[in-house]
Structure 1
Amino acid sequence: MSRQRGAALIMVLWAIALLGLMMGSLVEILRLENRQSAFALQHSRALLAAQAGLALAVEGLFAYPARTVADGRVYSLPFEQATLSLKVSSERGKLDLNFAALDSFARLAHGLGATAEQARQWSESLGQQRSIGPLKALEQLQQLPGMEARLYERLLPHLTLWSGLTVPDVDVASPELLALLKLSRSKVALQRGPESVVNVRVLATLENQVSASLEAVVFLSPQGSGQRPYRVLRWKE
């Protein structure tokens, strides 16, 4: 009888210990879920602030005098409990995959780290794609044979589908792109009309340092047209 009681006591103690372990694990899981939920909530707040930053950037482009200029400078401004960092640049200063000379694309790819053979193959494949129809998304570049993620990320900031130019506008192109394509800026300042397609990058940082970013290519509707101020052509969070 005493042996049975001892065995029963051991079983009870074992069950209590197991229950304690299970409760401890459950508490840790709940804590982790709470932390994840709290972070997701804060990240959503930051993302909403970033979206507001996009609207503010576009509003600044339409203002007179303009509060935002599409020349790549960085603007910092407060928004509720967040700090916004805005950067607006013209798509005219990039290489248009649908209109640029194929050897310009090959030169750019080679300058950013592709081998001469890779650059040649990619430019030929790009020409074949264009013969079928214009590219609709920059992500189609990833379909080129042998395209590596690191090279794709290097190429992306210099490329567009929306300028309609055979050569980047040298007055708004980045210094890196000018150097890679062996172009130089105009010696005479030109009178420029309003931008029609711009790239907007926004970083929103909350007071607790949680942040969210977005990048959008937007088409700016002509003022007085009665249309929405802008239309999103590309969106990346």
Structure 2
Amino acid sequence: MRQKGLALVLVLWVLTLLTVMAGSFALSMRRESSIMFGMKTRAEAQAFAEAGIAVAELMMLEEDPLNRWDADGQIYEFSFDEAVIRVRILAENGKVDINRAELDLLLKLLRHAPIDVDMQARVANAIIDWRDQDDDTREDGAEKKEYQAAGLRYAPRNQAFQSLEELQMVLGVDAVLYDWLEPFITIESGQASVDLDKASAELRYMLESEDNFAAKPITGKSDAENAVPRVRAFSPTEQGGEMPGEFEMQEDDQAQPGRPASGALTIVSEAMVGEGVTAGVKVLVRRSSNSGQTFSVARWQPIHSKVHSLFAYEMENY
């Protein structure tokens, strides 16, 4: 009788173990399936975002000026298949050139940044100290001694910025500040001033604002009506064309009769599929003002930060 009881306990123990193993296996499979579905959905969103770059390239060459897409920071939205795609084109001469901007212009931008008021002048002067060709520390600036005091093992290059990412090495510029600044700055314009006609709505508002305080980053909920970009609905098929396929960076692309704005441009494309899954890409392109020249892609960068998502702006607000 005792042996039968032990056998029953053993059988129950084995059944319990098998049940736990089966449940664990099912949970593992469910998680893997969810991960694979998420990866597939994100890959689809990325492909749609890249297609948005091709659409932008075509629309900048549109003959009809009423249909041609402008590099003024407004957002164009269209749907294709199950995706909603938003595209924004920004002229580099409508941004603050961190290699050329004087202190006043840098301060106008930084006073709206998500940093303390006392950090605004420090960061602005540290930017100038990084790019100037001397070792003299500006008031509130930073040269080698200040970097050493901060525990950093490098000093300012005392040369022009070679990339936007280099700005993250400047004393006082952390990841949060850089992510906020990135859409508003450039090293491409070569100008000390900003062409406000080509500036984004957010940057134009900040540079023209007389508010002498550190404002919160501007979003679609801003009280300033003109501080957010317009969102325009667009249908590629209504323009007499078809949605292009995969975007290819070909050197022998020929220009269409229309002519886009000359100079360097940033094209931002973001796609949303499924239940709010988004992916984006940002491309820096250059084009000669002469008809017949091609777009050349200077930089191709996937978007990881959601700080300036194109889907942060509501269509019904405009």
Same fold by TM-score, threshold 0.5 exceeded? Answer: yes
Q: Does 1:213 align with 2:279?
A: yes
Q: Is residue 90–residue 267 contact of structure 2 (8 Å, CA) maintained in 1?
A: yes
Alignment-derived partner of residue 159 in structure 1: 185
Tell me the distance in 1 between the aligned counterparts of 2:164 and 2:50: 22
Q: In the alignment, what sits opposite 1:125?
A: 126
Question: How many angstroms does 1:179 deviate by?
Answer: 4.4
Which residue number in structure 2 is paired with residue 145 of structure 1?
171
Match of 1:58 in 2: 57
- C-alpha separation in 2, matches of 1:179 and 1:32: 46
Q: What secondary structure sits across from 2:292 in the alignment?
A: coil
**Please, which moves more after superposition, 45-54 or 77-86?**
77-86
The amino acid across from 1:3 in the alignment is R
CA distance in 1, matches of 2:299, 2:41: 27
Higher RCO (CA < 8 A, seq sep 6+): 2
Report the equivalent of 2:266.
Answer: 199
Deviations 1:36-88 (A, max 9, x none): 21121121111101101011101211232353211222222233332222221
Query: What is the CA–CA distance in structure 1 between the aligned matches of 2:276 and 2:85, rounded to whole Å?
Result: 12
Q: Do the aligned partners of 2:268 and 2:280 also contact (CA within 8 Å) in 1?
A: yes
Instruction: Check 1:92–1:217 CA distance in 2 against 1; reply closer, same or farther (3 A cut).
Output: farther
TM-score, normalized by length of structure 1? 0.82
Percent identical across equivalent pairs?
27
Partner residue, 1:236: 302
- Looking at structure 2, the residues matched to 181 and 114 of structure 1 have their Cα atoms a distance apart, in angstroms, of 17
Aligned residue-pair number: 226
8 A Cα contact 1:42 1:210, kept in partner: no
Aligned to 1:95: 96
Q: Is the CA contact 1:43–1:210 (under 8 Å) kept in the aligned structure 2? A: no
User: How far apart are 1:205 and its partner, in Å?
Assistant: 2.5
Contact 1:217 1:234 in 2 (8 A): yes
Structure 1 residues 171-229: Cα deviation after superposition (integer angstroms, max 9, x where no partner): 12234434433489xxxxxxx982322222222233x345323242422333423x5x3
User: Which is worse superposed, 154-163 or 93-102?
Assistant: 154-163
1:99 Cα shift? 1.1
Q: In structure 1, what is the Cα distance between the partners aligned to 2:296 and 2:4?
A: 80
Q: What does residue 21 of structure 2 align with?
A: 22
Equivalent residue number for residue 110 of structure 2: 109
Q: 1:115 to 1:130 in 2, by over 3 A?
A: same
TM value normalised by structure 2: 0.63
Which residue of the partner structure matches residue 81 of structure 2? 80
Change (3 A) 1:60 1:81: same
Deviation at 1:232, TM superposition (A): 3.7
Is there any run of 5+ residues in structure 1 with no aligned partner, and where? 185-191
Query: Residue in 2 aligned with 1:187?
Result: none
Higher helix fraction (1 or 2): 1
- Aligned equivalent of 1:189: none
